[in-house]
Structure 1
C-alpha cells in the first residue's frame, strides 16, 4: 500500500487521539467522511494501523516509579530470548520489552509503586530465568513520547 500525504495526516491525527470521530477526522484532513472512513479501513487492512488504544498514566494507577532493566542473556539465541520474554513480559508491572543488539539483549520498562517493587521484580522474576547472565536497573526520572511516527517521514 502506498502511503499518501493524506494517509500520513490521518495517522498523525489518530496517534494524537485515537477516539477522534470520523467526522472530526475528515474535517481535519480535508476529505469526505466516507473517503476518510475507507482510508482508515485500508490502513487497518494493510497492517499499517495495528490497533487503537488508550494511553494510561501509570502514576494515576498507583505506579509512579518507572525503571529500565537491561538484561544480558547467555547463550545468545532466538530461542533463549523467546523463553526469557515468555517468562517475564506477562508480569503486570511490565510496560514493554525490547530486544536489542549489542551488550544488552533485552530492555524491559516497568512501572511500579516503589523501589522495593523494582527490586522484587528484578531479583525474583528476572534473575530466576536460568539464561540471565546479568542485569542493570536504571530508574527513570522522566519519560516523554516523541512526535508521531508520520511526522516528517517519507
Structure 2
C-alpha cells in the first residue's frame, strides 16, 4: 500500500459514495487507475465494506450506549457471540483494559435499555458485570 492508496482510502472514509471519477480528479490520476487500485484494496482486505453512518435518533433510537462486559474467561468467546446476536447491538469487540467485551447498543429509551440489560444481557452465561455508558452527544463519527 503506497501513498496513493492511502489517499484513496482517506477519501472513501470521508465519503464511501465518492465515484472513481471524483477520486481520480482529486488525486490527478485516471479513473481506470483508481478502479484498479480500489479493486486491489478490496481484494486484499484493506477495504472490507462500504457503510453509512446513521443518526440513531432519526430512526427513533433515543438511547445509545457503549456497554462494557466482564465475563468468565472460559466463556469469553461464547458471550461475545451471544452479544453479537442481539438485534439492539450494533457492534461487538473484544478488548483489553477495563472490560473484556465492548458493544454499542441502540434502544428507544432508557427503560428499554434497562430491560435489555436485565432480561437479555444479564442472562448470557458467564457475564458477571455489565457497565453501560450512555452517549450524550456524538462529537465525531
Give yes or no for TM over 0.5. yes
SS of match in other structure, 2:139: coil
Residue 49 of structure 1: aligned partner? 47
2:77 — aligned with what?
82
Match for residue 66 of structure 2? 68
- Partners of 2:114 and 2:70 lie apart in 1 by 17
Deviation at 1:92, TM superposition (A): 2.1
Q: Who is 1:10 aligned against?
A: 8
Structure 1 residue matching 2:130: 3-state secondary structure? strand
Scaled by the length of structure 1, the TM-score of the pair is 0.85
- Which deviations, in whole Å up to 9, do the C-alpha atoms of 1:101-151 show, x marking residues without a partner? 2341111111111001110111111110120111122111122336xxxxx
Structure ranking higher in helix proportion: 2
Indicate the RMSD between aligned Cα atoms, in angstroms.
Answer: 1.4
In the alignment, the residues of structure 2 paired with residue 40 and residue 137 of structure 1 have an alpha-carbon distance, to the nearest angstrom, of 38
Aligned pair 1:114/2:109, yes or no?
yes
5+ residue gaps, structure 1, are 147-154
Match among 35, 57, 60 for residue 59 of structure 1? 57
Greater shift, 30-39 or 49-58, is seen at: 49-58
* Higher RCO by CA contacts (8 Å cutoff, separation 6 or greater): 1
Equivalent residue number for residue 20 of structure 2: 22
With normalisation by structure 2, the TM-score equals 0.92
Q: SS of the residue aligned with 2:99?
A: coil
Q: Which runs of 4+ in 1 moved over 2 A?
A: 143-146
Question: Is contact 1:88–1:125 with CA below 8 Å preserved after alignment?
Answer: no
| Number of residue-to-residue matches in the alignment | 141
